[in-house]
Amino acid sequence: MTPSIHTRIASLCLLLGLIACRPEGLDATWQERSTGTTLDLFGLRFDQDGNGFAVGGKTWYAGTILRTNDAGQQWTEDRTDQKALLDLTAVDEGHWLATGVDGHLWQQSGSGDWLLRQMPEWRVNRAVLGLPGGDILIGGGQSFQFGFLYRVHPDNTISYLLETDNLINDLARCDDHRLIAAGYGAVFLSEDGAQTWSYLDITGDHFMAIEMVDGQIGYMVGYGGTILKTTDGWRTWMYVRNGDSLSVSNTPFRALAFMDSARGVLVGDAGTVWVTRDGGEHWDKLLGIPSSIDLTAVAIHQSEIFVAGTGGHLYQTPFP
């Protein structure tokens, strides 16, 4: 039976919608930086002076902290662990935190030495964030339907904040009082400095990463291809890209970084790198990363994009 004109029009509209949601491809000149490891890398950050760290490992067997002192050109191993490290954050100048499997929490002192703080419960910590007064907020979970948030005090005692049916993947701060936690099909908001948490009406994806540009503007991505944006500190939010929509292709996002409110980078599986210059209205795909590499970390330093992922691979290219 020949399709009706209405069926053909509907099919054409769907095809045009799929094409519109795919970013244009740009050739990029990537330089691979030797990391000296074949362990997967999950966290990557720089300070303003070009000092930086990358963390990673193999879940139950090995962990690593890599350091650079020359803006990412050379990397050396700074510390090893027996478990994978899944997240990294800077608390302030010269003070870093890393966390991961079996409750491992690494804290760097002003002298540059790393100190392991073993948490009482050997959980899978997936996200870490420094809080005012020296407290540390940690989120995580071992399976999709079990998640937690807890607060570590300077004396190593713990305050348990939230047990949830949703794995927690990332944490972000809008200001000292407003904090965001996101994970498997759920986003949580605290407006009292992490003491209490409430659900936000945001579902439909496995949310992987949050990036707050300032106290108001922020972005979040999901493994199903969702991109969300807020301009008022998550009081309201908008879909930049709805990964649950039939009109978009499935693109697993894992991490993001923004230079400012307009210019940012998303990375994901199969060598995916997308950039925006207009706050997410339009995206370009940067070509050149092998599809055999899943990208799990991204950072921007002085207009240079750094991406890292499976097998210890780390690449650099100028922001286009």
Residue 248 has what pLDDT? Answer: 59
**What percent of the chain is predicted at pLDDT more than 70?**
89
Looking at every residue in the chain, the average pLDDT score rounds to: 90
The H or E element containing residue 15 is helix 5-20
Residue 4 has what pLDDT? Answer: 46
On whether the CB atoms of residues 307 and 45 are closer than 8 A, the answer is no
This prediction's pTM: 0.90
Digit-coded pLDDT (tens) for 267-311: 999 999 999 999 999 999 999 999 999 999 999 999 999 999 999
CA distance 101 to 58: 10
What residues contact 2, with CB distance under 8 A and at least 6 apart?
none
Tokens of 41: 């890398």
Q: Which amino acid is present at 181?
A: A
Residue 12 has what pLDDT? Answer: 41
Residue 55 has what pLDDT? Answer: 98
CA distance 226 to 131: 28
Residue 22 has what pLDDT? Answer: 57
What residues contact 201, with CB distance under 8 A and at least 6 apart?
none
For 205-261, what is the HEC assignment? Answer: CEEEEEEECCCCCEEEEECCCCEEEECCCCCCCEEEECCCCCCCCCCCEEEEEECCC
Digit-coded pLDDT (tens) for 178-213: 999 999 999 999 999 999 999 999 988 999 999 999
DSSP 21-72: TSPEEEE---EEPP-S--SEEEEEEE-TTS-EEEEEEETTTEEEEEEESSTT
Q: How many CB atoms lie within 10 A of CB 194?
A: 24
Residue 259 has what pLDDT? Answer: 95
Banded pLDDT at 142 (limits 50, 70, 90): confident
Q: What is the CATH number of the domain that holds 250?
A: 2.130.10.10
pLDDT (mean) for 64-90: 96
Greatest alpha-carbon span in the chain: 76
Digit-coded pLDDT (tens) for 5-14: 443 444 444 3
Residue 144: give the domain boundaries: 5-318
> 196 to each of 121, 215, 265, how far by Cα in Å?
21, 19, 31
Using CB atoms within 10 A of its CB, is residue 133 exposed (0-12), middle (13-18) or buried (19+)?
Answer: exposed
Total domains, the chain: 1
Is 80 exceeded by the pLDDT of residue 94? no
Is 50 exceeded by the pLDDT of residue 224? yes
> 156 to each of 49, 150, 204, 268, how far by Cα in Å?
31, 12, 36, 35
Is 90 exceeded by the pLDDT of residue 32? yes
Digit-coded pLDDT (tens) for 117-129: 988 788 999 999 9
